[in-house]
Amino acid sequence: METTGIKPLLIVLALMVATAWAASRVGEPELASAIGVTRALPRQVGRFSGHEVLYCAEADCAEAYGADKFDDPSTAVCPLCGGDLDTMAPIERKLLPEGTEVVRAFYRDSQGSSFFVSLVIGGRDRMSLHRPENCLPGQGLSIRNSRVLETPLAGGGQLHTRLLDVRRQVGGSDAAVFSHFTYWYIAPGRETPSQWWLYAWMAADRLIHSRMDRWAYIAVAHDYNPLHEDESLEKMRAFLAGLRPLIIKPW
């Protein structure tokens, strides 16, 4: 599902207008309690060991730590400033709508390969789940290409995720780091790499069924050598094929 072209936009706009009209007549629909994913990320994905990422909740500090640094992460405080630890950065806690849940984990294998995973579970406000295309450039990253990545799944079928080729300059030098950043959205019984489909489903659910699903956003990123891009994509596919069955709930 490509996002180019005006037709998907018009369909979503029409659904949004219809939703606003319907909401004014029937009131706000109930937010579904079911979510399509686990609330935590797995400790192990294949040969990759993971640990959760925690942030200092003090905005002036906002230091990030691997949870493996602490004996008991649930009672630990920031070693730098003594602030509480949180699963989301202070700026996210401030800006993301109430009810949004965020967990992140860093995975590494013995050969030095690594993956960074973000899981965001949206609340009532659809702004909980924003397009990474909108926020990555603000973090000093440039998006060089965008396409759909197809990953064969063990049980048959394909997982479709949106794949961004991302580049970031290293601190004032000419050197650059290249990353593959891929993401998709999950609700109970539904998966899509397209934000247009996400919004269309949200709008249709509100309009037709007077309900709101709690959608989740999953992003997986890793750095790669541009001379070996195909190898990087194969590693990404293997990681996604291992991660998906561990986080998705049967429906």
Please say which residue, 78 or 89, places its beta carbon nearer to Zn ion.
Answer: 78
The minimum distance between CB 173 and Zn ion, in angstroms, equals 29
Q: Take residue 92 and report the two structure tokens written for it.
A: 């996210």
> Pattern of binders to Zn ion over 182-221, x per CB under 5 A?
----------------------------------------
Burial classification of residue 236, based on how many CB atoms lie within 10 Å of its CB (0-12 exposed, 13-18 middle, 19 or more buried): buried
Contact between 89 and Zn ion by CB under 5 A: the answer reads: no
The pairing of strands 158-169 and 141-152 is antiparallel
> How far is 2 from 182, CA to CA, in rounded Å?
15
32-44 CB burial, b ≥16 within 10 A, e <16: beebbbeeebbee
61 lines the binding site for Zn ion (CB under 5 A): yes
Residue 206's alpha-carbon distances to 13, 185, 191, in angstroms, are 14, 18, 18
In whole angstroms, give the CA distance from residue 148 to residue 159. Answer: 10
Burial 51-81 (b: 16+ CB within 10 A, else e): bbbbbbbbeeebeebebeeeeebeeeebeee
- Contact flags string 19-58 toward Zn ion, x per CB under 5 A: -------------------------------------x-x
Binder among 10, 40, 81, 208 for Zn ion (CB under 5 A): 81
Comparison of 8 and 83: residue with beta carbon closer to Zn ion: 83
Please report how close the Cβ of residue 82 comes to Zn ion at its closest, in angstroms.
7
Instruction: Pick the closer one to Zn ion by CB: 68 or 229.
Output: 68
> Toward Zn ion, which CB reaches closer, 40 or 77?
77
63: helix, strand or coil: coil
| SS3 state at 163 | strand
Stretch that binds Zn ion, among 78-86, 93-101, 144-152, 242-250 (CB under 5 A): 78-86
| Structure tokens belonging to residue 243 | 């991660």
Task: Give least dist CB 88 to Zn ion, A.
Answer: 14
Residue 80 is a binding residue for Zn ion (CB under 5 A):
yes
Assess 122 for contact with Zn ion (CB under 5 A).
Answer: no
Q: Which is nearer to Zn ion, 41 or 56 (CB)?
A: 56
> Site for Zn ion (CB under 5 A): which residue of 8, 36, 50, 83?
83
Instruction: Give residues in contact with Zn ion (CB under 5 A).
Output: 56, 58, 61, 63, 78, 80-81, 83
